[in-house]
Amino acid sequence: VVLVDKNIFPRDKPCGGALSALAVDCLTGMGLDGWAQRYPAWQELRFFGPRGRQVGLDMRGRRRGGYFIPRFELDAALCEAATGAGVRLLQGVPVTGASIEARWVSLQAAGDVPRAKILILAEGAVTALADSLRLTKYGPNYMAVRAIYQYEGPAAAELHFLPGVLPCTAWAYPAGAGRVSVGLAGELRDINAGRLNLEAALADFVERHALGGALAGKEAVVPLAAAPIRSRLGSVRPYGTRVLLAGEAAGVVHPMTLQGIGAAMESGRIVAQHALYALEKGQFGARDLSAYALALQRRFGVEYRAARVLNILLHSERVIERLIGRAQRDPGFASLMASVYVGTQSALGTLTPANLGRYLMWWRQPRRRRRG
């Protein structure tokens, strides 16, 4: 197995570095759970509503959630685990094209890349190679920005529902010793229509909201960086002759939390199984590889449909304020909300008939008022 990347590791990637419970399961599968335990776990998660309500949840002693691991360190550790397992790492090698031939896949690259029987494309949200192989239907649907600041305060994690950014959140997460990562995401259609300026929104978030204003006036130690996010399973066909798409290139980012690290690793596990079947059987046609698309749907499809339902609700400031209000009164509900973001609770599990009735009423109330 040859792993080709245009970057040289360790390298940074714009990311909050928040690992979900799924990411921790995947790290455990790779024998990296002991290593991950060196990093801060989710200890306290605070939600801030768009109209001022807030609620905090102490996560200590709860079912194991995730960790905050800077990508600089996480991705280097993953590369080391891969090379330890026998993978040949070709770094600093940009791939500019892929040709699918009768018996091989050849890559056009600046370095000496051997031809392969099968290509697993995990190029992230910007899918130039998958586009050239005509495997993509739509582009990314979100954009996110992130910057890192010096901060010596307690390692609480914050999620802010800011007006104008909904249904996405702004975040402040621990980012290694004495540092905090702040960022926010927005829908690309809002950005393209000029309704949302992510850079200005982040500057305002840092000045007025994040960590109670503790970062106001400070200079970022890692300046703002932006990157698109692809969170649509249906935005690509994740297979073709001798090629499979994995990670964000396959659209596996969670539609509500926009967490993609765990899902990318999980899709890597699934894609590896399907590549192995193909190698064992010697069958690399698009039809032979199509079972991979079904496997991705089975793993993520139902959960992501439920998450999209919740996302519709999270467009409403009023609904969010009511959710936070209920979480203030009801610790069980607060725990449910936090667990969805940490990934120990599925989005689907929040759609009980009782909750669905409640959400529906909340969703309808402001509309009725507007019409009246």
Ligand X SMILES: Cc1cc2nc3c(=O)[nH]c(=O)nc-3n(C[C@H](O)[C@H](O)[C@H](O)COP(=O)(O)OP(=O)(O)OC[C@H]3O[C@@H](n4cnc5c(N)ncnc54)[C@H](O)[C@@H]3O)c2cc1C
Contact status, residue 207 vs residue 213, Cβ threshold 8 Å: yes
CB of 94 to ligand X, least distance (A): 5
Instruction: State the pairing for strand pair 54-58/179-187.
Output: unpaired
Phi, psi of 168 (to 5 degrees): -80, 170
Q: For residues 18 and 211, which CB has a smaller minimum distance to ligand X in the complex?
A: 18
Give the nearest distance from C-beta 306 to ligand X in angstroms: 18
Of 15 and 55, the one with the shorter C-beta distance to ligand X is: 15
Nearer to ligand X, 236 or 319 (CB): 236
Q: Residue 176 or 325: which CB sits closer to ligand X?
A: 176
Report, in Å, the least distance between residue 98 CB and ligand X. Answer: 9
Closest CA to 67 of 42, 38, 34, 97: 42
Q: To which residue do tokens 């393209």 refer?
A: 192
Q: Give me the least distance between CB of 77 and ligand X, in Å please.
A: 14
174 strand-pairing partners: 180
* Residue 79 beta carbon to ligand X: minimum distance, rounded to whole angstroms: 9
What SS3 class is residue 141?
coil
CA distance 279 to 363: 50
Which residues, 6 or more positions from 329, have their beta carbon under 8 angstroms from its beta carbon?
Answer: none
Residues 236/251, Cβ–Cβ less than 8 Å = yes
Residue 293 vs 319, nearer CB to ligand X: 293
Q: Kindly report the CA angle at 106 between 103 and 110, in degrees rounded to 5? A: 165
CB of 66 to ligand X, least distance (A): 8
CA–CA gap between residue 184 and residue 143 (Å, rounded): 9
Please say which residue, 169 or 335, places its beta carbon nearer to ligand X: 169
**Minimum distance of ligand X from residue 183's CB (angstroms):** 5
Peptide bond into 10 cis (omega under 30): yes
To ligand X, the closest distance from the beta carbon of 28 in angstroms equals 16
- Our CB check for ligand X shows the closer of 14 and 50 to be 14
Under the rule (CB under 6 A), what is the footprint of ligand X? 4-7, 13-18, 20, 94-95, 122-124, 128-129, 144-146, 183, 227, 229, 247-249, 253, 259-262, 264
Burial class (CB in 10 A: 0-12, 13-18, 19+), 137: exposed
CA distance 343 to 260: 11
Nearer to ligand X, 316 or 344 (CB): 344
Toward ligand X, which CB reaches closer, 246 or 320? 246
CA distance 76 to 32: 12
- Residue nearest to ligand X as judged by C-beta position: 260
Residue 202 C-beta: closest distance to ligand X, Å? 10
State the burial class of residue 258 (Cβ atoms within 10 Å of its Cβ: 0-12, 13-18, 19+). buried
Cα separation, 176 vs 178, whole angstroms: 6
